[in-house]
Structure 1
């Protein structure tokens, strides 16, 4: 039975390298010629980058091929792997729908085309043989104009059958000069009854306390316990969960080693701040959620008690999980009922 929840996974970074390479071999002669052998592509796709901005450039590689026609292909394989190899019962997929629309269209036409993208992702996510509860988080983007970002919020409100929240992405160092815009958009989203998360306090350049009051969860947020632990009591009172994605911080050069996260976990647990362990970009990292758990344990970043607590926090803070308890608790109940029936 699937047991885990991943609250922070980008659609663009979710495609595992071998599947993306095979797609290029079959449909993109230019990329196939650039990477004729798989190991060369895997090394390029998964290697460590110097900065978050350099790392995010890889998303454009996938966004360009995630079109209306190809999205079902990629999503089916994503779900199959998540269920069989990661044992996921719940997954929130986040992405910017505008960036999956044809670039040759005018801005207004691309805004209109976003609705179909959300529908395609929603329908493709319903795979009967792999029963995972899946919902979408629509990402505003730091490099898109206000009109597009507002349209993304409006679309999320109109399509709550597929969408559980909004986010802002694109590199947290780029929010500063447009901070008032994003505050207004988050206020607007909350007024529409939308759930909210946001990439914030991931890097030392992305620390904007002005945005914190509008977030129900915090995407990454590692700089809060590392550099601003005085904020933790209010985070705990507000019941804001941090979405921690361990491998990301190594791939972006944000941390030198995983053990640096021990301070993050210890200070959050001491303050009563909840943490959900997530993958962020499982394909770019070539690392699955169970391996994130194992790496944190084997490197003494967390203990088993903390791991189990984080696994439960993920379901507790999941925006669209339809049950009151995690699946492990539901399975325990089923097994007890069976034992009673046999007796």
Structure 2
């Protein structure tokens, strides 16, 4: 039975290299010619970058082929892999719907088309043979105009059957010049009763305390325990959860080794701040959630008790998980009922 929850996975970075390369070979002659051999493509797609901005440029490669027509193709394979290879019971997919609309359209037409994109992603995520609870987080973007970002918030409010929260993405260094604008958008989102998370305190350039009061979860947030541990007490009081994505920090050049995260986990546990371990961009990293767990354990960043606490926290802070308990607890209850029934049947047979 699936046991895990991933609260931070980008639709653009979720496509594993092999599936993306095969799509290029079959449907995109230009990209197929650029990467004729799979090994060459995998090396390019998954290698470490020097900065977060350089890393985020890879999203444009995938966004260009995630259209109305192709999204079901990619999402089916995403859900299948998440269920079979990662044991996921719950998955929140985040993306900017505007970036999946047609560039041939006007801004107004692209805003109108966003509703169709959300519907396609929502319906394609419901795969009967792979029963995962899924929901969407719609991302505002640091490089999109205010009108588009506000439309994304409004869309999230209008489509709650598919959408569980909003986010802001696009590189945290780019928020600074528009900080008041994003504060206003988050304030507006909270007034609509929307759940909120946001890419914040991921890098040393993305530390904006002005946004913290509007977030229910913090996307990454590793610079808080590393550089601003005095904030942890308030984060614990507000029951804000950090979405830690270990491999990302190596791929973006933010950290030199996973072991640097030990300080993050230790300080958060000491302060009573919850952490959910996530994948961020499982395809770009070619690393699935159980391997994130294993890497943290084998490199002595966390122990098994801390891992279980993080897994519990992921379900506790999941915006759209419909049950009061995580799947392992539910399964134990079912097994206990089965054992009790077997014992009763045995007594009746005597």
TM-score w.r.t. length of structure 2: 0.98
**Counterpart in 2 of 1:276?**
276
Residue 340 of structure 1: CA displacement? 1.0
Q: Distance in 2 between matches of 1:106 and 1:281?
A: 30
Give runs of aligned pairs for residues 154-233 of structure 1, distance below 5 A: 154-233=154-233
Give runs of aligned pairs for residues 38-77 of structure 1, distance below 5 A: 38-77=38-77
Runs of 4+ in 1 over 4 A off after TM superposition: none
Q: Distance in 2 between matches of 1:181 and 1:7?
A: 26
What secondary structure sits across from 2:57 in the alignment?
A: helix
CA-to-aligned-CA distance 1:229-281 (integer Å, 9 cap, x gap) = 00000000000000000000000000000000000000000000000000000
**Counterpart in 1 of 2:16?**
16
What secondary structure sits across from 2:301 in the alignment?
A: coil
What secondary structure sits across from 1:196 in the alignment?
A: coil
- Paired residues, number: 343
**Counterpart in 2 of 1:108?**
108
**Counterpart in 1 of 2:347?**
none
TM-score w.r.t. length of structure 1: 1.00
Whether 1:316 aligns to 2:328 is: no
**Counterpart in 2 of 1:119?**
119
**Counterpart in 2 of 1:134?**
134
Q: Distance in 1 between matches of 2:319 and 2:280?
A: 17
Residue 194 of structure 1: CA displacement? 0.2
CA-to-aligned-CA distance 1:285-338 (integer Å, 9 cap, x gap) = 000000000000000000000000000000000000000000000000000000
Give runs of aligned pairs for residues 258-297 of structure 1, distance below 5 A: 258-297=258-297
Q: Distance in 1 between matches of 2:92 and 2:322?
A: 13
Residue 150 of structure 1: CA displacement? 0.1
Whether 1:145 aligns to 2:107 is: no
Structure 2, unmatched stretches of 5+, are 344-350
Residue 341 of structure 1: CA displacement? 1.1
Structure 1, unmatched stretches of 5+, are none
**Counterpart in 1 of 2:328?**
328
Q: Distance in 1 between matches of 2:126 and 2:223?
A: 36
Structure with bigger gyration radius: 2
What secondary structure sits across from 2:219 in the alignment?
A: strand
Q: Distance in 1 between matches of 2:114 and 2:29?
A: 28
How large is the RMSD of aligned CA atoms in angstroms? 0.3
